[in-house]
Amino acid sequence: MKLIRFEYQGTIHCGVVTGGGAVPVAEINARRGTKVPDDVLAIIQQGAAASLDATGIGAIPLDQVRPLVPYDVPPKIWCIGLNYHSHAVDINAVQPEEPGSFMKPASCIVQPGGPLVLPPPEVSNDVDAEGELGIIIGRQARYVPAEHVKDVIFGYVTTLDLTALDVLARNTRYLTRSKSIDTFFSFGPVIVTADEIADVDALEVVTAHNGKVWSRDFVRNMRTRPFELVRFHSDYFTLEPGDVISTGCPRGARIKPGDTVEARIEGVGRLSASVVQGTRQPRYF
């Protein structure tokens, strides 16, 4: 199953992606007599995806909807740095022995399509964008044995993770700051349930820059592969339904205003965004 959140005729829905487009959850409920929440995060939290049967129900063509991130505030966003050797080489860094994980705040999420807003040059003048495979956690869990990791994964998603490389280069302790600038993360727009991916290690993760493939590599070549990432991190904190673990990029693409960047994973999805230059404009809410 593929879940999507989208805007259609001024209203936000979530739905199931079929060959014909997006079937709204509200329409499925009306036709099936079910009460599945019209909210992707709630569907994951309540384990309600199994009740979504879109068979034979008319879909809205995808070119008529505006895709959105599946939910605006994930419980946690964890990312993995330098999980591919090629990425470590690209930024002249050494791969860590254990997963080099860090968190990102929900405030840095941007909708599919962007824009990715580059900060003023005095904040950062060297930013890269990285297409990655994301894991969506489906159940609350702690100390997950390796043989039960599949039981806690809801599905997979494409992600875009941005880094202010010049900030990070000043000091490795600035990693979180370099990763947390507004619009420096996106995921979706489609979440593919785990049962649709026969072999996660066989997935190829591609980052495209201005329409051309910039980097590509297979999940099996990660230093720490997805199932082990879930097991490992469950030793340190409780996994929550809807948590996102973005598993790393083969090599990031340096971006500038006017560029486009895309994360592409066959069988999972595509996530693209445009790049613009931001300015220093004080805002008070």
Which pLDDT does position 92 carry in this prediction? Answer: 72
State the pLDDT at residue 93: 72
Residue 95 pLDDT: 80
Indicate whether 89 and 170 sit together in one domain: yes
* N-term to C-term CA, the chain: 39
The whole-number pLDDT of residue 125 equals 97
pLDDT of residue 82: 86
Residues 125 and 203 in one domain: yes
Q: Tell me what pLDDT residue 273 has.
A: 98
Residues 49, 82 share a domain: no
Q: Are 134 and 210 within one domain?
A: yes
CATH number of the domain bearing residue 100: 3.90.850.10
- Verify that 181 and 229 share a domain, yes or no: yes
pTM of the model: 0.95
Per-residue pLDDT, 181: 98
Residues 129 and 234 in one domain: yes
Predicted pLDDT at 88: 75
pLDDT for position 186: 98
The 3 state secondary structure assigned to 44-95 is HHHCCHHHCCCCCCCCECHHHCEEECCCCCCCCEEEEECCCHHHHHHCCCCC
Q: Into how many domains does the chain fold?
A: 2
Q: Mean pLDDT in each 10-residue stretch from start to end of the chain (285 residues)?
A: 97 96 97 97 97 96 97 98 81 82 97 98 97 98 97 98 96 96 98 97 97 96 96 98 96 96 97 97 89
Question: 12, 270, 245: which is closest to 134 by C-alpha?
Answer: 245
Domain residues for the domain of 214 are 77-277
* The dihedral formed by the CA atoms of 21, 270, 63 and 153, expressed in degrees to the nearest 10: 30
